[in-house]
Each structure stands twice: as structure tokens, then as C-alpha cells.
Amino acid sequence: MDDIFKGLNETEIRVVEELANKGGRSYEEIANKLGISDRHLYRIRQNPIVKNAIKERTLQVLQEDVPDILGALRRNAKKGDFRSIELIVKMLGMLVDRSEVKQTTTIEDNRFKDMTQEDIDREIAEIESQLRVIKGGAE
């Protein structure tokens, strides 16, 4: 845990701890608890090292709560709560959400758009000529 606080002063460490356990408190409430101004808290929060430390500490706090969360989920599932049951079954890999994706592609061919009727007739004659060569070789 000490690694995430490397390079931070005591106030910044306290800010990290408070924000990692923010709950529903406002920044103003946290600043008051820490004995600093809202503006000072804002400046500390903008520090990239502090931002990273908050993220890392929040993940640590969440990991510490996982056993309690899973216990509550288990109790709810045992009481028959459908959503809890579904989540447990998904977590165990016994239920997989599947969805089918259908994709269609449209290709616009504008090669003949600007051709005159004469150009089109020449193109058709060329294709017919190539077809006769192909048919002659196939026989």
C-alpha cells in the first residue's frame, strides 16, 4: 500500500484516503473534514500522481469489500432474489448472454454513372467479345 503514496505529502495522502472512501459525500464535506479549502482540495485532485493514487486506493478498498459483497449477494440469492441468482450464475460461467449481430454491406458502383450510351454500348460489346473467347476456349 505504501507504493501508491510514494511522492505524496501528508495532506495528499489524507486526500487520497478520503476520496477513495468518498461514499456519497461532497467535495466540500471532504475538504471541511480535512481542514482545507475546496480550492485546495481541487488543486490536489488535479495532480496526476494523486489521481493515480486515488484510483489505486479505491481498487484496494473495493477488493477489501469483495468478501462482504459476495456474502450479501449469496444471502440475497438464497432468499430467492432473481437478479442475485442470475448474477451468481453468470459469474460462475454457467449462463452466457448471447446476441447475434447481423451486418449488411451495400457497395455503390458508380463506374457507369457518367458514361454515355455509346460508352455503355462499347463496354457491352467488349464484354460479349470476351465471353465469346471464354466460351470458345471452354468447348
In this structure, is residue 57 part of a structural domain?
A: yes
pLDDT at 1 over 80: no
Q: What is the arithmetic mean of pLDDT over 34-43?
A: 95
For 87-127, give the secondary structure using H, E and C: HHHHHCCCCCCCCCCCCCCCCCCCCCCCCCHHHHHHHHHHH
Q: What is the arithmetic mean of pLDDT over 41-61?
A: 93
In this structure, is residue 101 part of a structural domain?
A: no
d(CA 123, CA 132): 14
pLDDT at 41 over 90: yes
In this structure, is residue 15 part of a structural domain?
A: yes
Domain that holds residue 40: 2-69
In this structure, is residue 40 part of a structural domain?
A: yes
d(CA 75, CA 97): 24
In this structure, is residue 118 part of a structural domain?
A: no
In this structure, is residue 78 part of a structural domain?
A: no
In this structure, is residue 43 part of a structural domain?
A: yes
Number of domains in the chain: 1
